């Protein structure tokens, strides 16, 4: 059985990073964008990181421009925006595709372990689902991630334990992370 430790990704400078370097840590892996309605998630993510990083917790940030072109710019421009606007200190990786023929294998794996199960109830969630479906239609069966700020919680053994859509309240995400750290 595969785990996230079987994958190698690129950091924002283009260097290989083997995710086995994170063995024994609780991870939250997120696809992000700087021009999205969910971009404010960076603030609670950074708060969580500052509060919990000393407890073997890491957030791994993967910018993605596949959702309405909401992550324009280079890796350096994205990093500068995140650090200046939100004070982010957690690791940020190279901009990637999470859907389609060029989808990063890590995200294809994450989504296969915890497939999309809906954005939740309510008018806003229904509208996002309709917009996401229109955006992702071009990816066919390789539309693994529905929208920016999808989060995957990984346990200390490298297994995917939860998936949180961007519509999930960040306090719920934090509670799940804290529970996982406590195990």
| Residue 20: both structure tokens together | 């086995």
Buried b (16+ CB within 10 A) or exposed e, 167-178: bbebeebbebbe
Buried b (16+ CB within 10 A) or exposed e, 81-95: bbeeebebebbbbbb
11 secondary structure, DSSP code: B
Please tell me which residue in 36, 78, 98, 132 is annotated as part of the active site. Answer: 36
| Residue 105: both structure tokens together | 């294998």
Q: Which H or E run contains 123? A: helix 123-136
Give yes or no: 36 in active site: yes
Active-site annotation, residues: 36
């Amino acid at each position: 059985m595969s785990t996230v430790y079987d994958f190698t990704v690129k950091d924002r400078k283009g260097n290989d990073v083997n995710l086995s370097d994170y063995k024994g840590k609780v991870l939250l892996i997120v696809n992000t964008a700087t021009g999205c309605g969910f971009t404010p998630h960076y603030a609670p993510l950074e708060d969580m990181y500052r509060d919990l990083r000393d407890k073997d917790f890491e957030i791994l940030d993967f910018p993605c421009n596949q959702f309405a072109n909401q992550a324009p710019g280079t890796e350096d421009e994205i990093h500068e925006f995140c650090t200046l606007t939100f004070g982010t200190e957690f690791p940020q990786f190279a901009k990637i595709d999470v859907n389609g023929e060029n989808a990063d294998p890590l995200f294809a794996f994450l989504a296969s372990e915890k497939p999309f199960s809906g954005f939740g109830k309510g008018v806003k969630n229904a509208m996002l689902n309709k917009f996401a479906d229109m955006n992702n239609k071009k990816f066919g069966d390789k539309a693994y991630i529905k929208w920016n700020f999808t989060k995957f919680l990984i346990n200390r053994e490298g297994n995917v334990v939860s998936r949180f859509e961007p519509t999930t309240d960040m306090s719920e995400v934090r509670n799940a992370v804290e529970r996982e750290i406590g195990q």
